[in-house]
Amino acid sequence: MPAGKRIVSGVMSDLVTLAEIEDAAGRLAGITVRTPLVPFPQPPDSPSLLVKPESLQPVGAFKLRGAYATISSLPEDERGRGVVTHSSGNHARAVAYTARAFGVRAVLVMPHTTPGVKVEACRALGAEVVYVEPTAEARAETAGRLAAAHGFTMIPPYDDPRVIAGQGTVGLEIVQDLPDVAVVLVPISGGGLISGVAAAVKALRPGARVIGVEPEFAADARDSLRQGRLVSWAAEETGRTIADALRVQRVGDLPFEHLRAHVDAIVTVTEEEIRATMRRLARETRLIAEPAGAVATAAYLHHRDELPEGDSYVAILSGGNVDPVLLQEVLR
């Protein structure tokens, strides 16, 4: 098999390359925030932990990177027909934000269980919201029908090389800002973020370890990596986690190939560990994390014995779009 090639859904497919990620970075210049690496207070004898707060992006999450990189690359006539996506919230908001920037129509297919704060933010950007049942099938099928009926361009939430390249700019920035990074901790939902981050990190610093993090109640990527095949969880199972942005029932086809090629391990965290980490991030680093945004830091704080050894760790805080009522409850 040619170098860099993998079989995805029965066809030959390229893994995303560093050159594609660098191209995406050029598209995002002046659009996304180059988020800093914020120190998390540690005892003097502990390795350093730095948090990369993607919550500081204009849409409150890393998803703007993939959405803008993809939509900006479309031919003008195709983009002008409008875009559609399916998302539990953050990707939808990123697509809405980008569509407004280009002056095009955006239709968002969202589970009816999506927190109101995320839906309201999408509508405030001028997007149209279509509610569906919280299953992967309902989301994808509805978005596909809308695209076919109206000529919209589908902007996938994670299973797309352009989206993965955009998310990979997070990893590019990590290595540029911390060239000797030892371990990078990344949340996993559909797999777009960890795919891009791992591709960038492994290309620039092959010795670094990339560790995925999932809630115990939505550990489909862990099971998939262990079994060497895609494993799906039922919506009823993943719906138990407080981390609404990580309730995808299985990782995408292309992200799974990136997991197998680049990711060293996956660890899981409990619901109470997520809540406790949200509190500590707010109190000790002054950073607001939604539940999904806290899982990578939770892995360091509560599962250090499961992580590779190293002098420097980076945890990606993927988003901060938390429902105010939930945040108040967690902080209390």
- For the whole model, what pTM was predicted? 0.92
327 phi and psi, to 5 degrees?
-60, -45
* CA neighbor of 117 nearest in space, from 331, 324, 329: 324
What is the DSSP pairing of strand 128-132 with strand 106-111? parallel
Is the predicted pLDDT of residue 279 greater than 90, yes or no?
yes
Q: Can you say how many angstroms the Cα of residue 309 is from the centroid of all Cα atoms in its chain?
A: 25
Asked if 312 is an active-site residue, the reply is no
Of 52, 55, 63, 118, the catalytic one is 63
**CB-CB contact of 237 with 230 (8 Å):** no
* CA neighbor of 269 nearest in space, from 250, 251, 242: 242
Is the predicted pLDDT of residue 3 greater than 60, yes or no?
no
pLDDT at res. 8: 45
Asked if 5 is an active-site residue, the reply is no
Q: Is 290 helix (H, G, I), strand (E, B) or coil?
A: coil
Decide: residue 80, CB within 10 A, 0-12 exposed, 13-18 middle, 19+ buried: middle
Of 55, 87, 88, 318, the catalytic one is 318
> Helical H runs in 216-290?
220-227, 235-238, 253-262, 271-280
pLDDT at res. 89: 85
pLDDT at res. 1: 34
Q: What is the mean pLDDT of the chain?
A: 93
Q: 173-185: per-residue pLDDT in tens?
A: 999 999 999 999 9
Q: Go through the domains of the chain in sequence order and give each one's CATH number.
A: 5-59+160-331 (3.40.50.1100), 64-154 (3.40.50.1100)
**CB-CB contact of 268 with 222 (8 Å):** yes
Residue 98 corresponds to which amino acid?
T
